[in-house]
Amino acid sequence: MARRSAVKLALQSDGAAQGRGAFQAYLYVLPAFVILLAFHFLPIFYAFYISLFNWRIQQGGFTGLANYANALTNPEFWDSLKVTVYYALGVIVANLVLSTAIGYALSQRIRGRVLYRLVYFLPYVTPVVAAALVWRWIFHAQYGILNFGLGLIGVPAQQWLLEPRGVVELLLQPFGVAPPAWLAGPSLALVCIIVFTVWHTIGFSIVVVLAGLANIPGEVYDAARIDGAGSWGILRHVTLPLLSPTLFFLMVVSTIGAFQSFSSIYVMTDPTHGGPLGTTRNATMYIFQNFFEFTRLGYASAVAFLLFFIVLGLTIVQVRVLGPRVHYQ
Amino acid sequence: MQTTLPRVTRRAPSGPAAVSLSVSRSGEERRRPRRVVGSWLLHLPLILGGALMLFPFYWMLTTALKGLEEASAFPPTLWPTVWMWDNFGRAWQAAPFGRYLLNTVVVATGQTASVLVTGSLAAYAFARIPFPGKNLLFICFLGTMMIPVEVLLVPDFIILKNLGWYDTYLALIVPWMTSVFAIFLLRQFFLSIPDELWDAAQIDGCGRFGFLWRVAVPMARPGLITVGLLTFHGAWNALLWPLIVTGSPNMRLLQVGLAAFQSDARVQYHLWMAAATLTMAPMLAIFLFAQRYFIDAASRSGLKG
């Protein structure tokens, strides 16, 4: 300890060395700084600039906030947001519930937990495009194994990824009830994509939940047991509250991820039409189409900004509203 | 299922006996709470779920090995009657997958190597060198993580076009040559290196770069492996970015090529599955080889700094 402070003193007296240190630090940060500045930071301002113009392939006339106004009055934009929200809700709820249940089960002293963890994690490693292609084949309306399998237990063949009708509508159909349009729910095609995404990402969530469970100190359980808590009480009043920071993190991360989802929708449904009757065209796909197919660069930028603010707002709401309810140790 | 759980709950013993029991048990593992349900009640849903997780792999492989007629037969056969091993060769030949693979390897390796270098350097500066404006700069770095890629697509596309990098490896690699997550993670590793080591190294005449290279980097090895795997996996997975910044078939990455391959009407399902198998295989092989690090990477990204 004495030696260390002596060295520190010697170093501090040497002002030139400190200056050299700072110079070196800037040099070390420089490569990362340049990349981030050029391709991730300045482009935000450039994107805002572009969004103020009628920018096709070339820069056109200045239009002020017209692109934003056009987006906000365009039903296609709102539809794409609705698809995004349905998708995000479906993926997040299913992911959180399933990963908590499976993670909790795997945290028990059961045989083969390493093997289970491997199996559940496996899909997460596969490239989305290749995996989505496999699911597209499973969901195939004509030759798909799913229709065959469900047919064995008497479920009539479905159109799956080609089905624009809402799931609520489809479920009520056998009873001769037609729900109003706003209650029809996400299209069956979108639900298929949600199922795929949950299959693909659940392994990641399970591993995160397992890490969260492993972080809960054993003393807490001992204390609860001494106080006479049963296993169910411990799960309900000790494990779940102490796991809440992990679940909160998973929720924030999956919200951000769900709002940026692209590959699965691009592969599993027809991207040029936004899936059956546009019912799988989420916000990212809508931006991609306007940019890539219609070359409306200004409009695409405006929509991207609107989406950015929505995600930012949602994250802030999650942190402000749910954050205080999370139990940290 | 959850409502049936309390019935099979086993009560943990309470009172002094429990105290002595839990004290005599050593290790975290033994102190985990007892499970709520019997083991078969756990295994049954876990096995069913596991079968669902694995089913797509089975269906992909068996379809890939069927002939055209059998692949599109309804009702389908659950096992190929004739094993068509040459489907893999035919799928590989049906599109320039060799070229796609080369592109993907170049881009994934380029990104991974540069993220490791730029990430270690910046992380080291943030962790261990005092300099003016450090905290502000670090917060700005973290802030860029908030930006969704959709916002960057249009401006970066125009910037890359103006640089003359459109449809080149540069457009695929350079914008992703660093990663804030990598900097964040490696900084944690470098922060945990005791100051005494740096003091000792200085006395031995070791400079900052020498210390970074000979002491800090080897000590952060698990972190570097995590960052490397995540970057490589991300590059192998990418679709949206390469779709935007490249145009010619020659510059396609594997996933872009596979997506183009499936929208090609001539291609049949058994070849789709063969091609999907082939593009998945390298990632699965790396995973089975480096499982521990993959799962580590996932759980690490879930831990709050």
* Of the residues B35, B57, B84, the one at which a domain ends: B84
- Given this model, what pLDDT does residue A304 score? 96
Same domain membership, residue B108 and residue B78: no
Residues B244 and B143 in one domain: yes
Number of compact structural domains in chain B: 2
Domain boundary among B26, B55, B84: B84
Looking at residue A17, what is its pLDDT?
61
Same domain for B67 and B107, yes or no, is: no
Do B173 and B103 share a structural domain? Answer: yes
Q: How far is CA A239 from CA A144, A229, B270, in A?
A: 42, 12, 47
Same domain, B276 and B202: yes
**Distances, alpha carbon B223 to alpha carbons A85, B121, B192, B217, in Å:** 35, 14, 12, 9
Rounded to the nearest angstrom, the minimum Cα separation between B17 and chain A is 9
ipTM for the predicted complex comes to 0.90
A218 or A78, higher pLDDT:
A78
Nearest one of A250, A285, A236, A268 to A81, comparing CA atoms: A285
- The pLDDT tens digits for A150-193 are 999 988 889 999 999 999 999 988 888 888 888 888 999 999 99
Question: Are B145 and B22 in a shared domain?
Answer: no
Residues 6 or more apart whose CB falls under 8 angstroms from that of B282 comprise: B236
Q: What is the pLDDT of residue A176?
A: 84
Assess contact for A289 and A274: CB atoms under 8 A: yes
DSSP B185-222: HHHHHHHTS-HHHHHHHHHTT--HHHHIIIIIHHHTHH
pLDDT score of B11:
36
User: What's the rounded Cα separation, in Å, for the pair B255 and A131?
Assistant: 10
Tally C-beta pairs within 8 A across A and B: 330
Q: What is the pLDDT of residue B265?
A: 63
Q: What is the pLDDT of residues A268-307, one digit of tens each?
A: 998 888 889 999 999 999 999 999 999 999 999 999 999 9
Same-domain status, B238 and B128 = yes
Three-class SS state of B163:
coil
* Virtual torsion, Cα A172, A174, A176, A179, nearest 10 deg: 20
Q: What is the pLDDT of residue A19?
A: 72
Domain boundary among B64, B84, B104: B84
* Same domain (yes/no): B100, B80: no
pLDDT of residue A16: 59
Summarised one tens digit per residue, pLDDT across range B59-79 is 999 999 998 888 888 888 888
* B64 and B97 assigned to the same domain: no
Nearest-CA residue of chain B relative to A148? B75
User: Residue B133 maps to which CATH number?
Assistant: 1.10.3720.10
Q: Which two tokens stand for residue A280?
A: 């799988």
Question: What mean pLDDT is predicted for residues A39-66?
Answer: 93
Q: Does A195 touch chain B (CB under 8 A)?
A: no
Q: What is the mean pLDDT of each run of 10 residues along chain B (305 residues)?
A: 34 35 42 64 91 97 91 86 91 92 97 97 94 93 89 96 96 96 92 89 88 91 91 93 94 94 80 94 90 81 52
- Mean per-residue pLDDT over chain A, rounded: 89
The DSSP result for A163-180, as a single string, is: --SBHHHHHHGGGT----
Looking at residue B304, what is its pLDDT?
42
ω into residue B75 within 30 of 0, thus cis? yes
Please classify residue B32 by burial: count the beta carbons closer than 10 Å to its beta carbon, then call 0-12 exposed, 13-18 middle and 19+ buried: middle
Cβ atoms of B293 and B300 closer than 8 Å: no
In the stretch 99-138 of chain A, residues with CB closer than 8 A to chain B read 102, 105-112, 116-131, 133-138
Query: What domains sit in chain A, N to C, each tagged with a CATH number?
Result: 67-325 (1.10.3720.10)
Structural domain that includes position B155: 93-302
What residues 13-72 of chain A have any CB closer than 8 A to a CB of chain B?
A: 18, 21-22, 24-26, 28-29, 31-33, 35-36, 38-41, 43-44, 46-47, 50
A295 near B153, Cβ under 8 Å? no
Regarding whether B119 and B75 lie in a shared domain, the answer is no
The whole-angstrom separation of Cα A125 and Cα A131 is: 10
Residues B191 and B277 in one domain: yes
